[in-house]
Amino acid sequence: MKRFSTSFQKMLGVSLIGILKCPSLMIARYGPIHPHTAPKLGYSSFVQLGRPRGVEKMQDRIEIFLGDITTLATEAIVNAANNGLCGGGGVDGAIHRAAGPKLLEECQSLGGCPTGDAKMTQGYNLPARCVIHTVGPIWRGGSHGEYEALASAYRNCLELAKKNAIRSVAFPSISTGAYGFPKDRAFRIAFQEISKFLDQSKVPEKVVIVCFSEDDYSRYTEAITEIGEADPKSREL
């Protein structure tokens, strides 16, 4: 684990804990960040760092954020919704509460959303301008198309972001809560699909993967490290 000089840490305005290099991947972990230091880390246009306990940075376009997705000012955030787009528990409920009642009103006009698909609304009271709603699969043992449905959810969100020229988008962990998708597998699918899409498209310019818990944060970084140590061209699960 490489340590950086005090002068370099002062230049960033943060406590840089360390950096881990993989064949096609660079992961850097930062200590607590004050909002005034955000521009120095490239967050000036979209990320409000009020509650995070750490940030992981991979390459230039993908980041892991430990904190509350409803506080982020990316141009869009992704909601792990249900088929009826009627709000619910977990991140879905948190986004609806933060956005206010007008979000539900617009969602009710969309006619629901099939599993693996995505639809977009305004962000209303959220810092994010838009919300991309997607429905991940319910885990039924892995033999009912769950892997492809989850991959499709990530791809369709990114396609919708590209279609609407959205430069920055934040994802929660889709399907790993009440829907029961195994986290380690879900995290690998998420990173694989996001990486593949960004390899082929310049938009969105930035993708933030949001982890709400320390456990998710640790599992995500472990999964990404394993992928980075494998063949960087294949990124196979």
Q: Which residues are catalytic?
A: 92
Collapsed DSSP state (helix, strand, coil) of residue 141: coil
Helix (H) or strand (E) run with residue 77 in it: strand 76-80
- 167 by Cβ neighbours in 10 Å (0-12 / 13-18 / 19+) ranks as middle
Give the number of other CB atoms < 10 A from CB of residue 15: 12
Instruction: Compute the 3-state secondary structure of the chain and give helix, strand, coil in percent, each to the nearest 5.
Output: 35, 20, 45
Rg of the Cα atoms in the chain: 17
Q: Which two tokens stand for residue 127?
A: 């810092």
Q: Which two tokens stand for residue 35?
A: 């909002």
Of 28, 24, 23, 26, the C-alpha closest to 4 is: 28
Q: Which two tokens stand for residue 24?
A: 């096609």
Kindly tell me the sign of the dihedral angle through the C-alpha atoms of 143, 147, 152, 157.
positive
Give the number of other CB atoms < 10 A from CB of residue 125: 13
Q: Which two tokens stand for residue 237?
A: 């699960």
- Provide the terminal-to-terminal Cα distance of the chain, rounded to the nearest Å: 26
